[in-house]
A and B are shown apart, each in its own frame.
Chain A
């Protein structure tokens, strides 16, 4: 095993509790609230922060705006925006910047009022926006976000015989975890889910089809929310209030039609080996898999691409409730309830880091006994056409 480096650790976390702010709070306010709570969680103060990572969710010219809003004078500013995977990229960059001696305390924040804005992400999103060449070629088709992912599911079914019942395992495991998380239960009630209860495979495949072959209960919610993560150098981390959660490995990648024609293979197939190689661990050693669950097919594809099983075997791998936190054989999937049943304000990547850190601290609501290793894998963009992947391997002392 290669020498495992411990260059940087997550020392502070906060997840904004409300998923429906009823339009009374701005994304910037959510970001600042999260930052203050996460710094307090670490036992640090605003003045300790010397590096800012921001996806621009608070508005334009993000690096400048957020520094002024927080009242900070950072010496490292990184405004990478790769959608929902932005926060895994930020964590990777914070680790790199801290290891290079350019920063000691990095702050990542996220705030969104997608639900209050009625900004359709999960089930109804219409693609559009600025006229890039790709938008101008594809915008006329009426492709929705769900149908983009659904095309991956159809191709996976065609090539490997994967079934809707197998995909539904991902939704039922996630809901099982959500029902154990009071914030997730409150979120589902606030967002007026029809049934706030554990689901069965039949519930999922019996829910209405949004875009064939994906059903309503295979699609993420559209919430308000946000949070923050503080990442620190080893000497800082040793003096923090919480036990350090080390960033052991990181990988980044892109996928678009011309750099890989098989849509059943995501960018995780590129970012995963880099992250696992750096960490010196393999998928089979992981206790917890925090994987971006925009839709069930996203998780199935990424589990395969990260090496939990071979390409095409994901359907059989997830069957039988294997992804529940209390099931043998692991890994425990999205133990907070995921984007499907707890929190998805548009760019969920920060919650993957937060819940992975909870697990490695030992205080998840679906705690895996003695959890030692976790992966947080963000997918940003669209699985069925073009997206980014960020893989972060986390471990405790």
Chain B
């Protein structure tokens, strides 16, 4: 049986965050201005991460958004060699990392700007944010600083 011709598939896209998720929408909206934001409780000064509408330390709900300098250090990382997602499969090997921002939050991101992620990433290395632009938001990647 002859097989039918396969249509050319468009390149796979990164799965993007939603701007409609209530707690994280302000974070992603701020990325439109290339601002990396986090919350601090106006009543007790606790840094609240991930974003949400209430303080987890006191009973307050007055959370102020602050902008990070976008600098920090690699807390830990892994280099992904196997992925079944078409976007990421095309990018292996790539590095994923927990980044300790200087202001306190520990955020999950990808490390870019390293020639060989299996050799060039070290725990504790200093990194800075690098934005990946998209139509409605920007993705905060990190590269060695």
A interface list, Cβ under 8 A from B? 120, 123-124, 126, 128, 131-134, 136-144, 146-148, 150-152, 154-155, 158, 208-214, 257-258, 261, 263, 384-385
A354→B82 CA distance, assembly (Å): 33
Contact B76 A142 (CB under 8 A): no
Contact A133 B50 (CB under 8 A): yes
Contact B17 A211 (CB under 8 A): no
Q: Contact flags (1/0) for B101-145 with A, using CB distance below 8 Å?
A: 000001111100000001000011000000000000001000000
List, sorted by A's number, 18 A–B pairs whose CB atoms are closer than 8 Å: A132-B21, A133-B23, A133-B52, A136-B28, A137-B50, A137-B107, A141-B109, A142-B110, A146-B78, A147-B78, A147-B96, A151-B77, A151-B97, A154-B77, A158-B76, A158-B124, A210-B82, A211-B79
Given the interface pairs A133-B50, A150-B78, the reply to whether A141 lies near B24 with Cβ below 8 Å is no
- Beyond the given A142-B85, A152-B76, please list 12 additional residue pairs across the A-B interface where CB-CB is below 8 A: A124-B82, A124-B83, A133-B51, A139-B17, A140-B139, A142-B14, A142-B94, A142-B110, A144-B82, A147-B78, A212-B81, A258-B49
Contact A138 B82 (CB under 8 A): no
A150→B79 CA distance, assembly (Å): 9
Given the interface pairs A136-B24, A142-B91, the reply to whether A131 lies near B80 with Cβ below 8 Å is no
Taking the nearest CB of chain A, how far is it from the CB of B81, in angstroms?
A: 5
Cβ–Cβ < 8 Å partners of A208 in chain B: 81
Contact A212 B79 (CB under 8 A): yes
Cβ–Cβ < 8 Å partners of B88 in chain A: 126, 142
A212→B81 CA distance, assembly (Å): 8
Contact A143 B76 (CB under 8 A): no
Find residues 50-65 in chain B having any chain A CB closer than 8 Å to their own CB: 50-52, 56
CB closest chain-A residue, reference B108 = A138
CB closest chain-B residue, reference A132 = B21
Taking the nearest CB of chain B, how far is it from the CB of A187, in angstroms?
A: 22
Q: By the criterion of a CB under 8 Å from any partner CB, how many residues of chain B are at the interface?
A: 44
Q: How many A-B residue pairs have CB under 8 A?
A: 116
Kindly state whether residue B1 has any CB partner on chain A within 8 Å.
no
Taking the nearest CB of chain A, how far is it from the CB of B84, in angstroms?
A: 5
A133→B107 CA distance, assembly (Å): 13
Cβ–Cβ < 8 Å partners of B87 in chain A: 142
A137→B20 CA distance, assembly (Å): 12
Contact B15 A211 (CB under 8 A): no
State which of A138, A144, A261, A384 has its C-beta within 8 Å of the C-beta of B80.
Answer: A144
Cβ–Cβ < 8 Å partners of A138 in chain B: 108
Cβ–Cβ < 8 Å partners of A136 in chain B: 17-18, 21, 23-24, 28
Find residues 8-22 in chain B having any chain A CB closer than 8 Å to their own CB: 14-18, 20-21
A365→B80 CA distance, assembly (Å): 36
Contact A123 B24 (CB under 8 A): no
Contact A257 B106 (CB under 8 A): yes
Cβ–Cβ < 8 Å partners of A263 in chain B: 75-76, 98
Interface centre among A142, A152, A210 (most CB of B within 10 A): A142
Contact B91 A212 (CB under 8 A): no
Given the interface pairs A142-B110, A147-B78, A155-B76, the reply to whether A137 lies near B83 with Cβ below 8 Å is no
A257→B104 CA distance, assembly (Å): 12
A144→B80 CA distance, assembly (Å): 8
Given the interface pairs A124-B83, A137-B24, the reply to whether A212 lies near B49 with Cβ below 8 Å is no
Taking the nearest CB of chain A, how far is it from the CB of B67, in angstroms?
A: 17
Cβ–Cβ < 8 Å partners of B51 in chain A: 133, 137
Contact A212 B78 (CB under 8 A): yes
Contact B78 A151 (CB under 8 A): yes
Given the interface pairs A136-B17, A140-B14, A258-B49, the reply to whether A155 lies near B123 with Cβ below 8 Å is yes
Cβ–Cβ < 8 Å partners of A139 in chain B: 15, 17
Cβ–Cβ < 8 Å partners of A144 in chain B: 80, 82-83
Contact B84 A143 (CB under 8 A): no
Contact A126 B23 (CB under 8 A): no
Contact A210 B49 (CB under 8 A): no
CB closest chain-B residue, reference A134 = B50
A359→B9 CA distance, assembly (Å): 54
Cβ–Cβ < 8 Å partners of B49 in chain A: 257-258
Contact A126 B83 (CB under 8 A): yes
Contact B15 A140 (CB under 8 A): yes
A72→B52 CA distance, assembly (Å): 42
A137→B28 CA distance, assembly (Å): 9
Cβ–Cβ < 8 Å partners of A147 in chain B: 78-80, 96
A134→B79 CA distance, assembly (Å): 21
A120→B106 CA distance, assembly (Å): 27
Q: Contact flags (1/0) for B14-46 with A, using CB distance below 8 Å?
A: 111110110110011000000000000000000
Taking the nearest CB of chain A, how far is it from the CB of B129, in angstroms?
A: 14
Contact B75 A155 (CB under 8 A): yes
Cβ–Cβ < 8 Å partners of B96 in chain A: 141-143, 147, 151
Taking the nearest CB of chain B, how far is it from the CB of A368, in angstroms?
A: 35
